Amino acid sequence: MKRTDVFWDAPAEALDRERLRALQLHRLRSTLERVLCSPFYQARLGEAGISPGDIRSPEDIRKLPLTTKQDLRNQYPYGLLCTTKDKLVRLHVSSGTTGQATAVFYSRHDVDHWADLLARCMYMTGARPGDTFQNLTGYGLFTGGLGFHYGAERLGLLTIPSGAGNSRRQIQLMRDFSTTVMHIIPSYALRLMDIMTEMGLDPRKELSLRIAYLGAEPYSEEVRRRVEEFYGIDVYNSYGLSEMNGPGVAFECPWKTGMHIWEDAYWVEVLDPETLAPVPEGTLGELVLTTLNRDAMPILRYRTKDLTRLLPGECPCGRAHVRLDRIQGRSDDMFIIKGVNIFPVQVEQVLMNIAEVGNNYVIILRRENNVDEMIVKVEVTDRIFVEDMRHLQRVQKKIAHDLKGELLLTPRIELVEPNGLPRSEGKAVRLVDERKI
Ligand code: ADP
Ligand code: ZN
């Protein structure tokens, strides 16, 4: 028996696959009608010789052209808009992590639907009216702030729009208003741990936190574990991108076995980034998404560049929506050194398993006399920094040894005192490739 009280929107979450498919086909067709209002898609579909009538099953989506971030940049600001300006109520731009930003527009329907999606996500993890929700992410153009904010209000949580930074004040707010649920990017969750440790504060005893949503940048299972243990909470992975509204695209349920991607709102494909052919379920590839319920700026087959896989099987929670594995990173995050392909998160995974390693690190790639070198700067914990040189050397050796096991090459390890590495205001910068400077 499915328990409907665990669903925020039971008709949308717990429907069977067949009904979900029918809904998707219906929404896909109306999306196609809608995109024809934008000059960009009019031209694209014209070139491809496709009209909405050609879509007879959701899989026919493969006949449609892909959309890239570069398309969005070229069409900046209004090229993908499918409505008149008087119907718009919001504008966001992506963080610009990988180049020039792109603009996304929302109608009243879009902001409403987006708030519903986030309310659905938070409800799924057990957040309920009566909870205090603190949103420790940047407000403003970044979608993480307002996206979660309106979702939390929709759900009926007491919402504290504390924004990012000003950590002592954040902690004060958590204490004064007994915050139970927080949204925070992983690198800031780690930073806040250091600050609480410096203050001698034990969040398990002195705060009321129960749940945290971590997302907006790649992080490893090991970071989740550290954060859960330190704060004494459940961490849920949260995925989204501005081009698809923002957060609320995919989210973990209490089973924490991958993130349910809301298939009533997004059509999901995972493609081989080279050949662009679909990869089998369970195989790593590039996530490609189509909006199914967007009004102002629908997007067809958007190449996210995010690498992940679809997980096979049904989730015990009873939601029909397929699950995505943890995002490994963007294809742009991968770097090649001495012929080895590496994602920063692979390095993180090894580091965060070593007790003496602190909560921050950076990877530097350098070329000297035509030889590439990988340097990993690692903050160590307070406790070991005051200890003797021999212990530090042992730690250094252990890190190099464990990284070699994962990466098959031995980077140079530099240990740094706690808080010795620079922190970025928003998403963490984990890689500095000096070979490109
Ligand atoms: P930008 O693309 O400029 O960083 P966004 O704020 O829209 O702007 O960021 C969306 C991107 O953030 C995603 O495409 C993905 O690469 C990353 N991201 C978001 N959530 C997660 C997550 N849970 N795990 C890994 N990466 C994530
Ligand atoms: Zn589930």
Place of tokens 């009566």: 130
Within 10 angstroms of residue 109's Cβ, the number of other Cβ atoms is 15
The confidence band for 420, taking pLDDT boundaries of 50, 70 and 90, is very high
Spacing, Cα 389 to ligand 1 middle (Å):
40
pLDDT at 95: 63
Average pLDDT of the chain, as a whole number: 94
Asked whether residue 292 falls in the same domain as residue 376, the answer is: no
pLDDT 10s digits, 302-327: 999 999 999 999 999 999 999 999 99
218 lines ligand 1 (CB under 6 A): yes
241 lines ligand 1 (CB under 6 A): yes
Give the nearest ligand 1 atom to 218 CA. Answer: 25
134 lines ligand 1 (CB under 6 A): no
Asked whether residue 231 falls in the same domain as residue 322, the answer is: yes
94 lines ligand 1 (CB under 6 A): yes
H/E stretch holding 359 = strand 357-368
Write the CATH number for 144: 3.40.50.12780
Cis peptide leading into residue 77 (ω within 30°): yes
pLDDT above 60: residue 336: yes
Taking the C-alpha atoms of residue 369 and residue 103, their distance in angstroms, rounded to an integer, is 43
For the chain, give me the number of helices (H) and strands (E)?
Answer: 13, 21
Spacing, Cα 147 to ligand 1 middle (Å):
14
Q: Which of 137, 217, 252 gets mutated to test ligand 1 (max ligand atoms within 8 A of its CB)?
A: 217
Asked whether residue 120 falls in the same domain as residue 49, the answer is: yes
Closest CA to 230 of 196, 179, 183: 196
Write the CATH number for 372: 3.30.300.30
Helix, strand or coil for residue 231?
A: helix
Q: 331, 361, 381: which is the final residue of a domain? A: 331
306 lines ligand 1 (CB under 6 A): yes
Asked whether residue 296 falls in the same domain as residue 358, the answer is: no
pLDDT above 80: residue 103: yes
97 lines ligand 1 (CB under 6 A): yes
pLDDT above 50: residue 37: yes
Q: 297, 331, 365: which is the final residue of a domain? A: 331
Within 10 angstroms of residue 80's Cβ, the number of other Cβ atoms is 26
Most distant CA pair in the chain, distance: 73
pLDDT at 385: 66
242 lines ligand 1 (CB under 6 A): yes
215 lines ligand 1 (CB under 6 A): yes
In contact, 235 and 193? CB cutoff 8 Å: no
Burial 243-254 (b: 16+ CB within 10 A, else e): bbbbbbbbbbbe
pLDDT at 2: 47
Asked whether residue 92 falls in the same domain as residue 181, the answer is: yes
pLDDT 10s digits, 60-82: 999 999 999 999 999 999 999 99
Taking the C-alpha atoms of residue 135 and residue 144, their distance in angstroms, rounded to an integer, is 9
Q: Which of 73, 76, 91, 97 gets mutated to test ligand 1 (max ligand atoms within 8 A of its CB)?
A: 97
At 400, which amino acid appears? A
DSSP conformational letter for 34: H
Domain count within the chain: 2
- Give the mean pLDDT of 158-167: 96
The confidence band for 362, taking pLDDT boundaries of 50, 70 and 90, is very high
Give the nearest ligand 1 atom to 143 CA. Answer: 6
Phi-psi region of 370 (alpha: psi -120 to 50; beta: other; left: phi over 0): left
- Give the mean pLDDT of 117-127: 98
Asked whether residue 107 falls in the same domain as residue 165, the answer is: yes
pLDDT at 424: 83
| Ligand with the closest atom to the CA of 316 | 2
- Give the mean pLDDT of 135-148: 96
pLDDT 10s digits, 281-294: 999 999 999 999 99
Q: Residue 284 sits in which domain range?
A: 1-331
Asked whether residue 264 falls in the same domain as residue 411, the answer is: no
**Which positions ≥6 away from 169 have C-beta within 8 Å?**
162
pLDDT 10s digits, 402-413: 999 999 999 999
DSSP letters of 157-184? -EEE---S--HHHHHHHHHHTT--EEEE
Asked whether residue 295 falls in the same domain as residue 392, the answer is: no
270 forms bridges with which residues in the sheet? 287
Whose C-alpha lies nearest to ligand 1, atom 11?
241
Asked whether residue 310 falls in the same domain as residue 380, the answer is: no
Asked whether residue 76 falls in the same domain as residue 40, the answer is: yes
The confidence band for 6, taking pLDDT boundaries of 50, 70 and 90, is confident
- Give the mean pLDDT of 100-127: 96
The confidence band for 4, taking pLDDT boundaries of 50, 70 and 90, is low
Q: What whole-number percentage of the chain has pLDDT above 70? A: 97
pLDDT at 1: 41
216 lines ligand 1 (CB under 6 A): yes
pLDDT at 101: 77
At 61, which amino acid appears? I
∠ Cα 205 207 210 (to 5°): 100
**Which positions ≥6 away from 237 have C-beta within 8 Å?**
214, 215, 224, 251, 252, 256, 259, 326
DSSP conformational letter for 110: H
Q: 331, 359, 393: which is the final residue of a domain? A: 331
pLDDT at 437: 65
330 lines ligand 1 (CB under 6 A): yes
Asked whether residue 195 falls in the same domain as residue 308, the answer is: yes
pLDDT at 97: 67
Asked whether residue 266 falls in the same domain as residue 352, the answer is: no
